[in-house]
Amino acid sequence: ISASNGDLQLFSDGIVAKSGAFYTLSNGDGLQGNNFASQSSIIVPKPGNSRVYYIFTLDMYIPPVFTDGVRYSIAEFPESGPVSIISKNNLLFNENAQKISATQHENGRDFWIVTHGYGDNNGANFYSYLLNDSTLNTNAVVTSIGHPHNGNTSSNNGAGSMKISPDGSKLALVIPDDGIVE
């Protein structure tokens, strides 16, 4: 994520969070994402607080080895001292596809973070989380629509990318093995 002037603020591969100066954040290693996931992380600013960022990380869902799910950590830029992770690896849900995107709420301030489930239990669902200036609502708005993301452990249907249009009106994703673009 960059500042409004384009300066790099934070980045992550899902395992390590680094500052724009390429230093590992204090407590910024050991994130439970997966750098082999199609979309391993996304960083979203906390509304109303330019010093706090949420880092969402994704593991691939391939049990029994990869089951860490979608998690979030909170990074803080203090007035003085190093940028640090102040809350780490909080679970949102598992049995997830490797897809995540975010869009600004229609109020122009808050954000929706959108992920997708994977497998027989959750593969037909989108999970949307509201981030506002007071909290991240960890109770997802669950929407069942579109082609299910499922398959056996050798299937690549959990992979692929998801993107929300800049105005928030459209969402697109791919389901690789099934050859589907929605």
Tell me, what's the pLDDT at 62?
84
Tell me, what's the pLDDT at 10?
96
- Are 148 and 155 contacting, i.e. CB atoms less than 8 angstroms apart? no
pLDDT under 50: residue ranges of the chain: none
CA distance 33 to 26: 17
Tell me, what's the pLDDT at 126?
97
The amino acid at 122 = N
Residue 23's alpha-carbon distances to 9, 39, 43, 106, 168, in angstroms, are: 11, 22, 17, 35, 33
Tell me, what's the pLDDT at 148?
93
Tell me, what's the pLDDT at 151?
84
Q: Is residue 47 within a helix (H) or strand (E), and if so which, with residue range?
A: none
Tell me, what's the pLDDT at 153?
64
